[in-house]
Amino acid sequence: MQHQAFLDLRTTLDLLKANGELSEVSGEVNWDVELGAVTREVLRRRGPALLFSNITGYRGPQARCSRLATGLFASFRRISLMLGFDQQPSNRALIEYVLKKNATLVPPVLVEDGPVHENVLTGDAVDLFAFPAPRWHHLDGGRYIGTMGCVVTRDPQTRQVNVGLYRSMIVDRNRMGTLIVSSQGWGGHWGKYREMKRPMPVAFVFGWDPVMEFVAGSPIPATICEYDVMGGYRGAPVPLVKCRTVELEVPAAAELVVEGTISDDPATYAPEGPFGEYTGHVSEIATPRPVVKVSAITHRDRPIFRGTLEGSLPGASGENSYMSSIQRAAIACNVLRNAGIPGILDVFVHPVNNGTTVIVQIKKHYEGQPKQIAAALWGSNASSHRYKFVVVVDDDIDPGDYEAVDWAINYRVDPGSDDIVVFRSTFGSALDPSTLLEHRQLSELGAGLWNRMLIDATRTWRFPRRPQWGGERFPPLVTPRPQDLELVRKRWREYGFAGWKAEF
């Protein structure tokens, strides 16, 4: 692995191109639904990252922004490359790396100026429609400008800065609708600004080093600033510049920044949603929600807009899914280690569920251990929108092998026993379509409500030991004994399998 210095979006695209992982789409594509549909079909074919450079209405020298990059995170190979790996490491190695980096802190540095201020637009010059924000899916309530936009906010009391990744929809030239969940980093800040009866300053950052989205889209503890973690990933302080109209800082080489404030006056709210969400379903119905009143847009010359098609679908999962597969497994592992639980061997999240299901492989030390694991995960804020299902397996089951996990669930779980634990009405995801829409009203509940389930697929210790089973509580497997295998290995060629050839 090579040490990876900071990239910006342009050098990231160069890196992906040099490795055959980027395709420029030069044919005309309409931002209205077509761009999202093309992206979905490329995901379905496990294709490259895409740079759209011929977008309807955004062509020619008069266009302020004519390019959109997407799909950068939608493969483990690309994520590995962007993190600085020459070869794609195993799931386990990637998780260990991310665990270490999430805990390495290098504070940012403030610099005088940067390319993000090559163009500064305020007042009447502010026009969100100047950027090719797609209507990604035909049922989206509008053009979603914020799909890979990293949102910077500051705690008005502690001054702690948070960088999170949250959606936003264009309302008009200078307003964006938002969905603020109280259990998220900016949701905590929003609560404090509301109590103080002050609008919350925000800055949406589009396109910079991919560690920005990788870290902002993951639950870094609220006491840690994500800029420090980004610095930890690259081993250098993130160069930041001051925003022009709000008291916040943004990466100096970002492509595009939208600055503004959010008021809690319901008279300022505007309908937001629905949106084709990470669950692969259209999330909800259009609902009046807080809006960002944009005070400035700053951008590089010839900016490249950054966006992503949300929604995990079997065989066609997107960027959030692959990022979450790594980060949500690493963060679960971290929660469990910090809780002091022994025997955590591996943690796996399949991209298709974004971390809604987490599979934990353990060396079992005591019978109550799987429940302790579920309790630690569900008691952590990292389980916001994640870890609805916790599956715990023994050390002979590879958590990344769905066939093996399925087998363990089928033959090591008694659904009428304590192997299944349901934890009701805990905080969850307001976007999960398996929950009644009325039960996930953020304005009433702050966050979604979830029933969660532990599947303890380890061999139970509640059974008595039986001498007939070698003194074990669970019966032996049907695999041949070593001496049986040795005999077969020796005689393999003598059996003469007609019409079939295989080495032992």
Ligand X SMILES: Cc1cc2nc3c(=O)[nH]c(=O)nc-3n(C[C@H](O)[C@H](O)[C@H](O)COP(=O)(O)O)c2cc1C
Query: Number of residues in contact with ligand X, rule: CB under 6 A?
Result: 19
**Rule CB under 6 A: is residue 185 a binding residue for ligand X?**
yes
**Rule CB under 6 A: is residue 274 a binding residue for ligand X?**
no
CB of 84 to ligand X, least distance (A): 20
- The 297-326 contact track toward ligand X, x by CB under 6 A, reads -----------x----------xx--x---
Q: Which is nearer to ligand X, 217 or 428 (CB)?
A: 217
**Rule CB under 6 A: is residue 380 a binding residue for ligand X?**
no
Report CA-CA distances (Å) from 51 to 9, 25, 421.
11, 6, 46
**Rule CB under 6 A: is residue 176 a binding residue for ligand X?**
no
**Rule CB under 6 A: is residue 184 a binding residue for ligand X?**
yes
CB of 220 to ligand X, least distance (A): 6
| Residues between 214 and 243 that touch ligand X (CB under 6 A) | 217-219
**Rule CB under 6 A: is residue 137 a binding residue for ligand X?**
no
Q: Which is nearer to ligand X, 26 or 443 (CB)?
A: 443
**Rule CB under 6 A: is residue 334 a binding residue for ligand X?**
no
Would you state the structure tokens that stand for residue 292, as one six-digit string? Answer: 């960002």
**Rule CB under 6 A: is residue 164 a binding residue for ligand X?**
yes
Q: Starting at the earlier edge strand, list the strands of the sheet with 239-242.
A: 109-110, 239-242, 249-251
- The whole-angstrom separation of Cα 313 and Cα 350 is 12
CB of 237 to ligand X, least distance (A): 20
Peptide bond before 274: cis, by omega within 30 degrees of 0? yes
Q: Which is nearer to ligand X, 179 or 374 (CB)?
A: 179
Query: Which residues touch 255 (CB under 8 Å, ≥6 apart)?
Result: 8, 9, 116, 206, 207, 208, 299, 300, 303, 304, 305, 306
**Rule CB under 6 A: is residue 162 a binding residue for ligand X?**
yes
HSE of 292, CA atoms in CB hemisphere, 13 A: 32
Query: Which residues touch 459 (CB under 8 Å, ≥6 apart)?
Result: 364, 394, 412, 473, 474
HSE of 101, CA atoms in CB hemisphere, 13 A: 27
8 A C-beta contact, residue 337 and residue 344: yes
**Rule CB under 6 A: is residue 181 a binding residue for ligand X?**
yes
* Phi, psi of 409, rounded to the nearest 5 degrees: -65, -40
CB of 442 to ligand X, least distance (A): 10
Binding site for ligand X (CB under 6 A): 148, 162, 164-167, 179, 181, 184-185, 217-219, 308, 319-320, 323, 384-385
